[in-house]
Chains A and B, each alone.
Chain A
Amino acid sequence: MDTAYLIETIIKVVVILLIFSALAGIGTYFERKVLAFMQRRLGPMYVGPYGLLQVAADGIKLFTKEDIIPTNVVGPIFKIAPVITAATAFMAAAAIPFFPQFTVFGYTVHPIVADLNIGILYILGVMAVGLYGPLLGGMASANKFSLLSAARTAAVFISYEVVSGLAILAPIMMVGSLSLIDFNNYQAGGISDWIVWSQPVAFVLFWIAAFAETGRTPFHLIANDHEIIDGFGTEYSGMRWGLFFIGEYANMFFISFVIPLIFLGGYGDGSMLGALGLIAKVAFFFFFFLWTRAAWPDVRPDQLMWLCWKVLMPLAVINVVITGFVMMF
């Protein structure tokens, strides 16, 4: 392992960490603005121009707030739970190619931390570990609402993972590789090569599972304000609560990268236009998360399980079988 590779990797890790923790903060601003406009309000307006500095104000508030560990909680687990959510979100980013490779001062940069040949499996697995944050936080708090939220987390986890895994199986069969770069190269020919045209069912199923995975409305039942206060976050204060938030928003951004990379051609042929196209797709998927939050009610836990096990999973299995037959004959 030579030194140049090591330095390059460290720089990439730091850049990704900085950009996406900042984006997570700005993501909250976008969410409040988009929700406000959809509900005919103004949203944050007072701090800075158009409320842009609201993010900084919130950050200062979170960082300086007292870090309270309530009595009767299981201390070590309670303290580590938010770290799990935030850390696994960023760990999953290691196998995502954010851009096509480019050359700076004659040095070719691959904007992916580790090109694992099992990229997509690794991303799904590590993102799934992120749900341990809400589970452990909810179970360690001595609070019934938190415990309810933990039980719901377990239900969500067991339901959605089957759907996302089976949905992704059909595109994997077509591409014949698990690396996201191979997925991208498979669709590099242009819009007509996108996998979404041959796998529309898998695309929709994976998209729905992404909502369950990030815990966004319609599947926001883990921390539904109007039923169980803030669920697992009820007992948290200050930056520990902020870490849950950073993890959630970073997960939203990363899954918004993964969906276009798998189904919508990713960065295409690797030109500047393709890279900008990927950013546009990511922006759309992130916006769609906010749009659904403004437009849809939440589902009950039993409805989520019914949907995942009785509707989506059979659809995914049928899709895999049909794909297999089409590929064989």
Chain B
Amino acid sequence: MFEAVAFYLFAFLTITMFFITVTTSQALYALSALAAGMIFISAFFFILGADFLGAVQIIVYTGAVMALYAFGMMFFDTTREVKEKQGNKYIIVGLSTLAAVLVVVIFAAPMVSENIVALYPAIEGVGNTQEVGLVLFTKYLVPFEVAAIMLLVAMVAGIVLAGKKMDLSITLMNDAEIEEQKNKKVLS
């Protein structure tokens, strides 16, 4: 009974939050609703007994959305409404409905035809974290390692893009040295 109540409550909350994210023209509302929706999703993991994934969902998405806030702060006055360029409304509504239906079909079709079976049934007496580790390092080892390499590539690319003056650190300089650098127009 509790599970059903919790499921419907969080399903309603999650959908409401993401609806606000999509429809509002106020950047702060959109970001906050996105963060709230992402955190509410973790409730489904907890209801299904996947505690580890639930906690990871909270940790990962609070950090990710926090980075989005930083961008929002840079690009918008977040206390004002953003004037959106309104295109043809019918095309927007039609395309988004089509996309939503397609996503549902993609995920629902294997379930309806009952093609999904658990290849790695849950092992008795082993904790949640260990189960995730077992699957990650046996069945999904290659995707896991590929993802790691992609992240490494992205990190190196980010450092190369951002690190033009990495031999200089303003934190380690005293005021006189910073002034000197300013005069040399290196830091301008």
Contacts and interface: CB of A to CB of B under 8 A. Distances in A.
A125 B51 contact: no
Q: How large is the interface on A (under 10, 10 to 19, 20 to 34, 35 or more residues)?
A: 35 or more
B25 interface: no
Interface of B: 2, 26, 28-29, 32, 35, 39, 51-52, 54-56, 58-59, 62-63, 66-67, 69-70, 72-73, 78-79, 127-129, 169-172
A151 interface: yes
Contacts of B2: 1
Given A132-B35, A147-B73, A73 B79 contact: yes
Interface of A: 1, 72-74, 76-77, 116-118, 121-122, 124-126, 128-129, 131-132, 135-136, 139-140, 142, 147, 150-151, 154, 157-158, 161, 165, 177-178, 300, 302-303, 306
A306 B169 contact: yes
Residue of B26, B35, B79, B169 most packed against chain A (CB within 10 A): B79
B127 A177 contact: yes
A117 B51 contact: yes
Contacts of B62: 125, 128-129, 132
A129 B70 CA distance: 15
Interface majority SS on A: helix, strand, loop or mixed? helix
Contacts of B172: 306
B66 A74 contact: no
A153 to B, nearest CB: 8
B59 A118 contact: no
9 contacts: A73-B79, A121-B55, A121-B56, A136-B28, A139-B28, A140-B78, A150-B73, A151-B73, A178-B52
Given A118-B128, A126-B58, A139 B69 contact: yes
Contact of A139 (B73, B169, B170): B73
Contacts of B66: 131-132, 135, 154, 157-158
Given A118-B128, A129-B58, 15 more contacts: A1-B2, A74-B26, A74-B78, A122-B58, A125-B58, A125-B62, A128-B62, A135-B66, A139-B72, A139-B78, A154-B69, A161-B59, A177-B129, A178-B129, A300-B171
